[in-house]
Amino acid sequence: MRRALLLPTLILLASMPALARDSLGIFENWGAFRDPGGSQNGPRCYAIAEPVVRRGQARKGFASVGNWPRQRVRGQLHVRLSRARSAQAPVTLSVGERRFTLVAGQVDAWAPDARNDAQIIAAMRSASSMSVQTVGADGRAFADSYALRGAATAIDAAALGCAKLR
């Protein structure tokens, strides 16, 4: 059922020229895409998923792991929060039993460095779920949860999708 809900959004992402051009595959809850890129940043490839939502919730936010060969960036985590966070609130990523503090903007969060990106991806490969917790701009705590089934395969497909574009 989750896959059925994820597919329309991933198809929409694939149809948007600025976001993705080539589908590399849908793997359970995750999709992999390649954007050939016409700008100086060049091509990018990424694995992406939406948070698991409860009945009645709107679909917002995503988690992705991206590669930008021209910038020599591989396996970079990016999380779009489902809503704006409080400027003072830390953002914590929980992957299985591991906890990571992310660097955050108002609605986006990243690992602080490549070493943390690698640790997060390694944890994602062996866990069944992950969640991102913070406090919203409205003062209420919230968490976006992700099923990780298919994540490792999508991350690998994205890495291979850009491997020859370096």
pLDDT tens for 114-147 read 999 999 999 999 999 999 999 999 999 999 999 9
The percent of residues in the chain predicted with pLDDT above 70, rounded, is 81
What pLDDT band is residue 109 in, cutting at 50, 70 and 90?
very high
pLDDT grade, residue 7 (50/70/90)?
very low
Report the pLDDT value the prediction gives residue 10, as an integer from 0 to 100: 44
Q: Which fold has domain 2-163?
A: Immunoglobulin-like (2.60.40)
Which residues share a beta bridge with 113? none
CA separation for the pair 152, 57 (Å, rounded): 27
Q: In which band, very low, low, confident or very high, does the pLDDT at 56 lie, cut at 50, 70 and 90?
A: low
Specify whether the CB–CB gap between 127 and 148 falls below 8 A: yes
Cβ pair 131, 141 in contact under 8 A: no
Q: What is the pTM of this model?
A: 0.83
Q: Which amino acid is at 20?
A: A
Name the residue ranges covered by the structural domains of the chain: 2-163
